[in-house]
Amino acid sequence: LLTMVHDAKLFVLSHRSAIESVPLQIYCSALVYSPSKSVIRCQFLDQKPVWIEKPPVTQEVWDLALQVLEGHSKWVTAVAFSPDDQILATASYNHTVRFWNL
């Protein structure tokens, strides 16, 4: 059970933006593009749409980098977490500051 919970956490973190914006993509994209040895993929792959006859070849396990925060057009020069670790602030050479909900 612990392995499945850990894998589910990685699944959600990895596909967070797609799940938030288009939840049904969880079956068409998130599931089939998850690592081939993902517990979640193995458990639920039979629920993929029928038009996906052969899922794509994917890496076997999750990447160490779960999510890449994109938004600055130049190098990030500073990073700070809020006291409750719920927000990340980043500053860049492009003279912008971004706030990320974690």
Residue 2: C-alpha distances to residues 39, 64, 95 (Å): 11, 19, 43
Region of 71 (left: φ > 0; alpha: ψ -120 to 50; beta: rest) is: left
Taking only the tens place, the pLDDT of each residue in 20-70 is 888 888 878 888 999 999 999 999 988 888 898 888 999 999 987 767 788
**Domain residue spans of the chain:** 2-47, 69-102
CA dist 98 and 92 (Å) reads 9
pTM of the model: 0.64
